[in-house]
Amino acid sequence: MADTPLVNLTIEGRTVSVPAGTSILEAAKTVGVLIPHYCYHPGLPVAGVCRMCLVDVEEAPKLAPACATAVAEGQVVNVHAEKARDARKGVLEMLLINHPLDCPICDQSGECELQDYTYQEGRADSRYREPKRFNPVEDFGGDVMYVPNRCILCTRCVRFMDDVAHDAVLNVSERGDRATIGKFEGKDLTHAWAGNVIDLCPVGALLSKDFLNKARSWELDRTASVCSGCSQGCNMTVETRDNAVVRLRPRPNAEVNEFFLCDHGRLNYRWMNRGDRLEAPSVRGASGPRATDWDVALAVAAQALKGKTVFVLASPNLSNEALFFLSRIMKAAGGRGAFRIEQGPEAPLAGVDDLALRADRAANGRGAELLGFERSTTPLAGVSAGDAVIIADHDLTADDAAHLSRASTIVLVSTFMPSALTRADVILPIGNHVEEEGTFTNLRGRVQRFLQARAAPGMARPSWYVLADLSAALGDRLNVMTGAQAFAALAASEPAFAGPSYDTLGLRGAAVAGATAGAAS
């Protein structure tokens, strides 16, 4: 907004210069000052009800709610002035009078904003001597349960369902201290994006039934990643405990998913922990696959592929880097590649521009297309007699398997053994997308990095690493040792990916010109 005038003010002694109309709370963020708050959320309309963000503005008669007060020229704001701290202390005390002492059994513990601010600025004791208000736990449907006793009535959940999801199934019921969040009998939180209310809830009032009592927040390791549930490419955080993925949560990205993740993406993580993984490089022996070491398996695979036309069945959930090496192998051998991408009903988040659970239920269909793989409902129909086929982490139907009878050689580069596959000459085990780093290209041509969140099982290696080695064994050596180098090699050879590097992509990704051109809009 080049034409919006700037306003200059002072917050906690720091000089701030922000566009007119910015709230004091947002202005404070720009200079690293966090003003405590509950009901405010940058993805929701301002409510100004929790009264936690009250700050002292010099010469103003009353404390100002920072989330609902626009900056003014020359304002001097003291977030930690005594009267502001007293006011916040008062709010915290009031929020705790009916709040049960549930921390030991509450899932939110460790990531609870009520705990955080009380510890930081609240009272060490309680003066409340009266009986506490009690309401039973409710099932709100979907993945959401509601614990009214813990609710601080910030109304983030109500505003999300109403203003962002455009499905006003939550309300505030009753009045005064009898108020709770409510819904209508029979109308549940079945909206495709309803699970976001769990993340939005600052306390343990709205909880995930899936995550209930599963792990403590401080036990979790958190890694930046990208959801592979569909082609939207929502940024997410993978949370693991003892190397098992226990929860997925949205990671903010203003260009893709704002602050939100759909329930399909959020709850679809169990496959990441599946136990039936390919763990050892194997070659086919007289009585079935025989585990061996990487050098042997790669050599056998290269031998099996040499001189033949190569057909690649590549999963649209493979990274750009892995698909890059696959496409090099495929093109060098004068072959083709295809993939099938599962479809499902689209479910937009109406209140956010261009955000939906997409019909394409895989992360990297666009990447695959850009790298020369053809989208098809019968991807193996193009296999010619005598072709060497590489199956790269793609599942097989009975029909697919029938086409394979024409193949002379089958090399399986995969995380799992497809049940319809009867024969594989070489098996090269790889990691899934939370077990390695890489990038995906979303439906709009945005390339985004994901990082490794857990260790791959057994001897499995990163997919791009294995495929770079296989490509080298076939005579195409690119000297790639890291994910960054793999991407650099991709960017150097493919015009669609020219420009970015891992450094420039950072953890928010970037729209890549070559990739966005011709992307669905």
Partner 1 sequence: MSHGPSAAAGAAISTTPHGHSSEPYVPVFTGETRAQLDALMERYPTKMAALLPALWMVQEARGWVSPEAMAEVGQVLGLTAAYVKGVVTFYTMYHQHPVGKHFIQVCTTTPCHVCGAEDVVKAFLKQTGCGELGVTSTDGKYTVIEVECLGACGFATPVMVNADFIESVTPEKVPELLKKYG
Partner 2 sequence: MGFPHKPHPRETTVLSEHFGEAEARSLDGWKSRGGYRALEQALGMDPLAIQAVVKESGLRGRGGAGFPTGLKWSFMKIGDGKPHYLCCNADESEPGTFKDREIMRWTPHALIEGCAIAAHAIGAETAYIYIRGEFTEPLDVMERAVDEARRAGVIGKNAMGSGKRVDVWVHKGAGAYICGEETALMNSLEGKRGNPRIKPPFPAAAGLFGMPTTINNVETLAAVPPILVNGGEWYKKMGRADNPKSTGTKLWSVCGNVMRPGNYEVEMGFPFKEFLYDLCGGPPKGRKFKAVIPGGSSVPIITMAEAEAAVMDYEGMVAVGTMLGSAGCIVMDDAQSIPRQVARLARFYAHESCAQCTQCREGTAWTTKILERMVAGGGTTEDLDTLMDLADDMTGKTICVLSDSCAAPVVSGLQKFRSEFEALITRKTVHTVPAIVA
HEC string of 184-212? CCCCCCCCCCCCHHHHHCCCCCEEECCCC
Q: Residue 517 Cβ, how far from partner 2 at the closest point, in Å?
A: 41
Assess 78 for contact with partner 1 (CB under 8 A).
no
77 closest CA partner among 32, 147, 12, 158: 12
Looking at 58, 73, 86, 174, which residue binds partner 1 (CB under 8 A)?
174
Q: Are the C-beta atoms of residues 336 and 409 closer than 8 Å to each other? A: no
Q: At 285, is the secondary structure helix, strand, or coil?
A: strand
Residues numbered 6-65 forming contacts with partner 2, rule: CB under 8 A: 46-52, 54, 62-63, 65
Q: Residue 41 Cβ, how far from partner 2 at the closest point, in Å?
A: 16
Nearer to partner 2, 178 or 385 (CB): 178
Distances (CA, A) of 487 to 297, 358, 433, 483: 25, 26, 15, 6
Residues numbered 151-170 forming contacts with partner 1, rule: CB under 8 A: 162, 167-170
User: Quick one: DSSP state of residue 393?
Assistant: S
Helix 113-121 to helix 82-96 angle (10° resolution) is: 130
Nearer to partner 1, 158 or 356 (CB): 158
Q: Count of residues binding partner 1 (CB under 8 A)? A: 15
Binding mask 94-113 for partner 2 (x = CB under 8 A): xx-xx---------------
DSSP β-bridge partners for residue 310: 388
Nearer to partner 1, 127 or 175 (CB): 175
Q: Residue 172 Cβ, how far from partner 1 at the closest point, in Å?
A: 6
150 closest CA partner among 111, 214, 95: 95
Binding mask 161-180 for partner 2 (x = CB under 8 A): -----------x-xxxxxx-
52 binds, among partner 1, partner 2, none (CB under 5 to 8 A by kind): partner 2
Assess 352 for contact with partner 1 (CB under 8 A).
no
Alpha carbons 392 and 411: distance in angstroms, whole number: 8
Alpha carbons 163 and 193: distance in angstroms, whole number: 12
Q: Residue 159 Cβ, how far from partner 1 at the closest point, in Å?
A: 13
Q: Identify the H or E element spanning 427.
A: strand 426-429
Assess 421 for contact with partner 1 (CB under 8 A).
no
Q: Residue 62 Cβ, how far from partner 1 at the closest point, in Å?
A: 27
Q: Count of residues binding partner 2 (CB under 8 A)? A: 34
Assess 177 for contact with partner 1 (CB under 8 A).
no
Distances (CA, A) of 338 to 168, 289, 468, 491, 492: 43, 26, 20, 22, 23
48 binds, among partner 2, partner 1, none (CB under 5 to 8 A by kind): partner 2
C-alpha angle 330-467-238 in degrees, rounded to nearest 5? 120
Query: What single-letter amino acid sits at 421?
Result: L
C-alpha angle 509-511-515 in degrees, rounded to nearest 5? 120
Assess 119 for contact with partner 2 (CB under 8 A).
no
Nearer to partner 1, 119 or 184 (CB): 184
Looking at 10, 78, 109, 171, which residue binds partner 1 (CB under 8 A)?
171
Looking at 182, 252, 382, 499, which residue binds partner 1 (CB under 8 A)?
182
Q: Are the C-beta atoms of residues 190 and 197 closer than 8 Å to each other? A: no
Positions that interact with partner 1 (CB under 8 A): 162, 167-175, 182-185, 187
Positions that interact with partner 2 (CB under 8 A): 46-52, 54, 62-63, 65, 68, 70, 87, 90-91, 93-95, 97-98, 127-130, 152-153, 172, 174-179
